[in-house]
């Protein structure tokens, strides 16, 4: 089976790397950013092109959500299988006379950070049973966590991921603003962050909650509010504490 990965960003890089590590040949990397394509190609020894898209049996589109529809129009081969890797879009966003599918890896990807691909969940979707089996088996060569999904289910998977990853990382960034303002190395908070995430592997997040809001410690909450001079930080602090109080009916 000839596989072409379209894109040169983080998802394209990591999918190509996961395939390489599991001896799944990639025929071509295709995209518009020649420098990024060249970087991935040199790292993984995969041919690339920014001008001519090869014929393939499976195209995996790993581009931004806003570009998926336009990029899919570049695929002129009929009756091939095309899957996008978006968590938030239906497979019908793909435009062309080919079989449409979704191949969604649930992870935050950065080229500079190695991953254990066996632990990355994959959610596959297709209306065709044979295509579904093909994508499922492909994912199982990479990961031990593969689930057949639907678009309705995947929308909620992506929403949950935004809460669990994007919002949490934004809070890390806001926390670092505070520690930086007082010249406190953020590294000192990493053991706390690691313990917080490790704890929810054995406890439900709701039962792992600690801090002044769950104790309804108004003195500490008010003292913290008095320390915060940044309006956005103060807004986040109040909203988060009110949400904690509502969850535990304090």
List of domains in the chain:
3-149 (3.40.50.720), 155-247 (1.10.1040.20)
For 75, other C-beta atoms within 10 Å of its C-beta total 22
Half-sphere exposure of 214 toward its Cβ, with a 13 Å CA cutoff? 9
CA dist., res. 157 & res. 134, Å (int): 22
Instruction: Please name which of 124, 151, 153, 156 lies closest in space to residue 137, comparing C-alpha atoms.
Output: 124
Counted residue by residue, the chain has a size of 250
Instruction: Please name which of 23, 24, 26, 2 lies closest in space to residue 12, comparing C-alpha atoms.
Output: 26
The pLDDT value recorded for residue 38 is 95
The pLDDT value recorded for residue 131 is 97
Tokens of 19: 């395939």
CA dist., res. 220 & res. 154, Å (int): 40
Buried b (16+ CB within 10 A) or exposed e, 124-146: bbbeeeebeebbbebbeebbeeb
DSSP string, 126-163: ESSHHHHHHHHHHHHHH-S-EEE--HHHHHHHHHHHII
User: For residue 7, is it left (φ>0), alpha (ψ between -120 and 50) or beta?
Assistant: left
The pLDDT value recorded for residue 197 is 95
DSSP alpha helix (H) spans, 182-230: 190-199, 205-208, 218-227
Q: What is the pTM of this model?
A: 0.88
Contact at 8 Å (CB) between 74 and 101?
no
CA dist., res. 178 & res. 230, Å (int): 9
The pLDDT value recorded for residue 95 is 96
Residue by residue, pLDDT tens for the chain (250 residues) are: 999 999 999 999 999 999 999 999 999 999 999 999 999 999 999 999 999 999 999 999 999 999 999 999 999 999 999 999 999 999 999 999 999 999 999 999 999 999 999 999 999 999 999 999 999 999 999 999 999 999 999 999 999 999 999 999 999 999 999 999 999 999 999 999 999 999 999 999 999 999 999 999 999 999 999 999 999 999 999 999 999 999 998 7
For 56, other C-beta atoms within 10 Å of its C-beta total 22
């Amino acid at each position: 089976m000839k596989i072409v990965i379209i894109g040169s960003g983080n998802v394209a890089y990591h999918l190509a790397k996961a395939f390489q590590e599991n001896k799944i040949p990639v025929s071509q990397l295709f995209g518009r950013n020649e420098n990024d394509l060249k970087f991935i190609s040199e790292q993984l020894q995969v041919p690339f092109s920014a001008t001519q898209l090869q014929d393939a049996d499976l195209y995996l589109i790993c581009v931004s959500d806003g570009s998926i529809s336009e990029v899919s129009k570049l695929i002129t081969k009929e009756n091939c299988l095309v899957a996008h890797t978006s968590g938030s879009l239906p497979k019908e966003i793909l435009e062309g006379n080919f079989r449409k599918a979704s191949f969604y890896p649930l992870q935050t990807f950065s080229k500079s950070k190695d991953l254990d691909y066996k632990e990355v969940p994959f959610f596959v979707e297709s209306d065709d049973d044979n295509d579904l089996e093909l994508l499922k088996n492909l994912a199982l060569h990479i990961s031990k966590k593969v689930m057949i999904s639907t678009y309705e289910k995947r929308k909620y998977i992506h929403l949950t991921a935004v809460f669990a990853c994007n919002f949490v990382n934004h809070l890390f960034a806001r926390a670092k603003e505070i520690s930086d303002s007082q010249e406190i190395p953020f590294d000192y908070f990493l053991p706390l962050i690691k313990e917080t995430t490790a704890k929810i592997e054995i406890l439900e997040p709701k039962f792992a909650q600690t801090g002044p809001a769950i104790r309804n410690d108004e003195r500490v909450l008010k003292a913290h509010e008095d320390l915060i001079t940044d309006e956005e930080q103060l807004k986040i602090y109040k909203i988060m504490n009110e949400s904690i109080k509502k969850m535990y009916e304090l």
